[in-house]
Chains A and B, each alone.
Chain A
Amino acid sequence: MYPAYSREKRFYNLLALYSLLNPNWREEYVKVESRKPSEIRTPLMATSIKNVIEAGQGSGELVESFLAIHAANKIAHSCGRARDIMVEEYLKCKVNTKELSSSVLGTDNLKYICRMVERYFDPSNLGDTDNLEWTKRKLKKFGIKEENLEDLRSLNIEVLSKGQRDGYYIKDFEMDRAIELLKEDDEISYGKFTKNMTDNNGVEILDSEGNPKQEHLFVVDLPYYGQFSIHMKTESSISALSDTPYDELRIYEKESVLLTDEVSSWAKKIILGKTFKEVVGKLKNIRRNRKNGARIAHYTALKLGATKEELDELYRDDQR
């Protein structure tokens, strides 16, 4: 299993798998960057995953960990999505041949069936009849029989369920490790950011009493790389970062993106050959007066290698 391999080997294998399951990783990167202000849109020079691996391995444990967190999270989501698509395609075939009712394709029913199929193929079942019987009972309500589940098994749904579980486990494992490294390092700004959760349409998700459901982001300002944030499960946010909130006014990157130490051409002109002390005045000015100024100044400072203390300096006059 993952932790048993050498650091080098597991990093290589994880990133290689990430690129196999997400062959469009470069396009995804460009897509995320294109949503940012032009001043901070960072080019990605890596043309193959080998470039990313080599760059990561030469950048220290922390950067390697965050690249691994990003990759593992993508692997978990890709496996889950692939499984759901396969289930949907299978159900469509069965609806077309009138073996199943078209109701199985209704949005809520489909989501429910996918959830149950995921649990039926829980790789840790190992003959656990209680779980198998429970899921079969649930699926039977939609006319889905054991032979349908065996059809799905032959499509290797189990492998995807395992991939999703391993992906989440590796993500949490690396996150735990990264937090330990950050706790030993006074120079890097990081923390937990809590916000109300929304669905894909931007509508707030509410709990049974009508209160907004909250989600947690793990945020870090990595010198030379930029701000990185990723969803963190509630339990970890409580056990590891309960006393480390991230300043709400300083969070800009709310979706995880592949880390790179490349710099936008706009920021390059400001920081090339300069120290933080030399440009902090200019960056404060940008922060105060330019559209998206705080985000641009924050990014530029980080690309210059700004520490937590230097970021505090960048924001100082606002806090008086």
Chain B
Amino acid sequence: MDIKKEDLKNIEENNVLNEKLNNIFEDSKIESKYEKCKIMLEYININFILNKLKTKLEDYNILKIIETYRKFDDNLFNQMKSINSLYNIVDERALEEEDIEYLLIKTNSIYGYMKEKYGEVIKENR
């Protein structure tokens, strides 16, 4: 990949997320890398919704997450709409390395924004 872990400072600084990031960088198969990225973003969103919004959803699929953010935070709403668009586009063609890079950069931004505006989202392992 063209990006390095250091480019993803927000994620790297949290030891729980950093472990997930290591896992992604160590994976050599593009499809499982992509899936792991999706899972990491989902993990961040679920933690944010449960811990910061104090809300439980029946299902944490991307549409339900978007709907939750729509009523709560415009920026997160738009960010997740972009991610949804990526998922749709990638589903209609072959997966590329840049899709993973883009997803990682977006995840890093989303997590950074959450942390800055609402405080730490993911409890670190001591």
Contact = CB atoms under 8 A, between A and B. Distances in A.
B3 A165 contact: no
A119 interface: yes
Contact of B29 (A76, A199, A208): A208
A215 B92 CA distance: 7
B50 interface: no
B2 interface: yes
Contacts, number: 95
Contact of B61 (A76, A116, A215, A240): A240
A186 interface: no
Interface residues of B, number: 38
A29 interface: no
A168 interface: yes
- Interface residues on chain A, size class: 35 or more
Contacts of A10: none
Interface SS majority for chain A = helix
Contacts of B19: none
Contacts of B89: 80, 168
Nearest to A1: B70
A122 to B, nearest CB: 5
Contact of A207 (B92, B95, B102): B95
A134 B105 contact: yes
B101 A165 contact: no
Interface of B: 2-3, 7, 29-31, 38, 59, 61-63, 66-67, 70, 75, 77-79, 81-82, 84-85, 87-89, 91-96, 98, 101-102, 105-106, 108-109
